[in-house]
Structure 1
Amino acid sequence: MNTEERREKVLQRLVASSIPVTGTALSKEFNVSRQIIVGDIGIIRAMGTQVYATPRGYVIPDHGETKKLIAMIACQHDNDGLARELEIIIDNGGKICDVCVEHPLYGEIRVDLLLSTRKDVANFLKKVKDCAANLLLIVTGGLHLHTIEVPDEETLQAIKQDLRSEGILIEEANEQR
């Protein structure tokens, strides 16, 4: 199989998968290094396909979903508040699309999370613990933004209220798409 054929098969694999696929799994499946897969993903993106790199693996968004409400919320907490913040959003019916911080040197740093279930949150928290890396919020004293997806305005308000009551929501960043 040549390089172009492999990239096409990687793309087909991601399109067919309903769950994220890790670079390691793809590298084993196609008998190449993980770095080759990273390069393939870069080329696939450059060709116009939207591929998200999440903590759980690569995923191509399902564009067949019904229109949902997208909102940006501003939060602040220390490392200990992470689990509670994520659980509040998920338990109220939201999906956490990403996290964003404003770095004083590099500007906006945004990372796709794509967390939509308690299991996703548990896996993310385990990965945080296992890799012992600092969270992005360390750069900003705990201040960060999340893009969240919710089915309706009522769900968004419930999330904001619960975050507010925990002292996590710091402002109403009402940018909705």
Structure 2
Amino acid sequence: METPKIPGDERRDLILKWLKESKSPIKGGELALKTNVSRQVIVGDISLLKAKNEPIIATSQGYLFLKTEEKDVPHRHLIVSNHSPEQTKDELFTIVDHGVTVKNVIVEHPIYGDLTASLLLSTRKDVEDFLGKLSSTNAALLSTLTEGIHLHMLEAPTKEQLDNVCRELKQKGYLHS
């Protein structure tokens, strides 16, 4: 006997509950399995929740509810990078190896203005998963639209970690000057 589909409002309430309780992103496919609907239905549900001003973002690792009551607000720093696609792995590893999170990537498009994509990369595994997905989907890095120039919002528990990673990125020639 097939498990019944969870009705729309009830399903969205459950999705919201699961996202709020989770400390890590949840993949759309996982939400689809738990609610016995297609991944495309989940995409629609997430859009409806966002339209109700729920702070949900889509990352390369899945959906994440942005918690606003963070007690330890991390230190943030916006960097401007410029490197080839082949240097992406080294750039990202350099950042996460300092205990710093890559929140997003931003490029300036001549028509659309700033294009921002959430990354939330904090570990080498996160970086490997991101690059693996990039490779398996034949997708291009956003920085290919801007000849390698892109921005990252970085977050770290301490200012010293941000200073150290910026110093190393500059030594490697990855910071745009």
Q: Calculate the TM-score normalised by the size of structure 2.
A: 0.92
Q: Does 1:29 align with 2:40?
A: no
Question: Could you give the per-residue CA deviations for residues 99-148 of structure 1, whole angstroms, max 9, x where no partner exists?
Answer: 00001111110000011111111111111111111110111000000011
Report the counterpart of residue 93 of structure 2 in structure 1.
87
Structure 2: distance between partners of 1:101 and 1:140: 7
Q: How many residues align?
A: 171
- Which residue identity is paired with 1:46? A
- Which residue identity is paired with 2:63? Y
Q: Does 1:77 align with 2:83?
A: yes
Q: 5 Å matches for 1:1-177?
A: 1-62=6-67, 63-171=69-177
Identical residues among aligned pairs (%):
38
Alpha-carbon RMSD across the aligned residues, in angstroms, is 1.2
Q: Alignment partner of 2:76: what SS? A: strand
Structure 1: distance between partners of 2:140 and 2:75: 30
Structure with greater contact order relative to length (CA < 8 Å, sep ≥ 6): 1
Question: Could you give the per-residue CA deviations for residues 3-32 of structure 1, whole angstroms, max 9, x where no partner exists?
Answer: 111100111111122221111111111111
Structure 2: distance between partners of 1:128 and 1:68: 28
Question: Could you give the per-residue CA deviations for residues 21-76 of structure 1, whole angstroms, max 9, x where no partner exists?
Answer: 11111111111111111111111112222111011100113433411111100000
Q: Alignment partner of 1:149: what SS? A: strand
Which consecutive unaligned segments of at least 5 residues does structure 1 have?
A: 172-177
Structure 2: distance between partners of 1:131 and 1:107: 25
Which consecutive unaligned segments of at least 5 residues does structure 2 have?
A: 1-5
